[in-house]
Amino acid sequence: MYNLNKNKIPNNAQVVLNRFKRDFFIEYNNSSIKTKTLMKKYFQHIYRRWYYSSLVFNNYLSPSNIINKIFLQNNITNTTILTTARPVLKNNKIRDINFKSYEYNIENHPIIKDICLLTSFFTPDREIKNNGLLQTRLIESIKYKFTIPDIFYINYITKLSFELGIIKKLPSINCNRAQICYNADFWENDNKNQFNKIVKASIELSSKKLLEALSEVDDFFNIDYLNSLLKNGIHIENTIENDYLKKLSLNLNYIMATIIKEPKELSKDELKILELFNKLGCFIETYFITIMGQYLGILNPINTFTFIFPIEIQKYTNNYNMDCTKEIFLFSPSSLYDLSNFGEIYMGSKAKGKKLEHIPENIDYRKLNHSLSTLNSFNEIKLKDFLTFK
């Protein structure tokens, strides 16, 4: 197996990552103090959206797909690669960005390490919030110890650990405390069964949250339905949303016709429907696609629109004070997803779908390097810019 602890990120992959660094700092260095603060605060969400967005408009050539193709050339057949980004801070300002790659496979999945790490903060015990999560100040102080240094990820593995019985609440007066459960049967399983339990518990958590947040259709996001999404393996744009809307006697054609109206032309009912549609996509992204994709590596999210920094960062600054949930503010819906390389192996014969499309075999990385290095942040890269034609 290709050992990422002993091998640096390949040069071809670093070329792609340098594009993020370059565009990020073009925007960051020319932004106001307020915008710089928001870019630092939401750095992980900016990176995640860029990582799964295509470099070429209306295509599957996301940094994630390209980087995984590069690692596959090193004969990693049962693994998905997640490359993370971490800001290097000096005087509370971002001065550089470091990248690190992780293998997602049954033998050595990062989430097992992260669960073990999390439990160390519950020894002997730890004060928690009323909702069972760690205090925000503590999360900020420890987040860079985890694979994905983000509060949503740490909250997820905290809830997961409670669901698996690895952490348990303690009886206490005037506060909430929890501690590690040393006799949890989770630790008695081998790697595969541990991961099976993690997936099962994650589906249960996702179902619970989606049913609670999207209650307009009773019992829609039940456990069987979410399992069927994994088994089908492929999600085409808005198919989940369309299934949901049908239960409300609505359809996507109506939604699209409503979206293009001038805001002043919208009725109160139309505004409510558009709010529900937006919430639907963002919550699916937060509590299903991101968990099964970035966190567990089973799904491969794809946004076929390019991530244009000035436009995307402006959304943060314009919407920061809006009265909306963090899910809507931070998690834009993916266009689609399919099973990752690891997901295909893990799901095996259970999966019905096939991969949507393999990215081109004839990528010329010298041309790609030139395109990524010379185009400014407003330009789209064209497919012909880095393919070798015979």
Position with higher pLDDT, 174 vs 164: 164
Q: Which two tokens stand for residue 116?
A: 């073990």
Cβ 72 vs Cβ 341: under 8 Å: yes
Q: Write down the pTM of the prediction.
A: 0.89
pLDDT at 54 exceeding the cut of 50: yes
Distances (CA, A) of 88 to 9, 40, 96, 131, 259: 18, 10, 5, 32, 40
- Residue 377 has what pLDDT? 45
pLDDT at 20 exceeding the cut of 50: yes
pLDDT at 293 exceeding the cut of 70: yes
pLDDT at 371 exceeding the cut of 70: no
Tally of structural domains, the chain: 1
Asked if the structure places residue 5 within a domain, the reply is no
Kindly tell me the burial class for residue 215, based on how many C-beta atoms sit within 10 Å of its own C-beta (0-12, 13-18, 19 or more): exposed
Sign of CA dihedral 227, 230, 293, 146: positive
Of residues 342, 351, 290, the one with CA closest to residue 108: 342
Asked if the structure places residue 165 within a domain, the reply is yes
Per DSSP, the chain holds a count of helices (H) and strands (E) of 17, 7
CA atoms within 13 A on the CB side of 166: 25
Domain that holds residue 139: 11-387
Asked if the structure places residue 2 within a domain, the reply is no
Asked if the structure places residue 6 within a domain, the reply is no
Range 165-186 average pLDDT = 90
- Residue 332 has what pLDDT? 84
Task: Determine how many CB atoms are found less than 10 A away from the CB of residue 11.
Answer: 10
What CA–CA distance (Å, rounded) separates 332 from 124? Answer: 39
Asked if the structure places residue 1 within a domain, the reply is no
pLDDT at 364 exceeding the cut of 80: no
Residue with tokens 């980087």: 67
Which band of pLDDT confidence, cut at 50, 70 and 90, is reported for residue 193? very high
Asked if the structure places residue 3 within a domain, the reply is no
Asked if the structure places residue 68 within a domain, the reply is yes
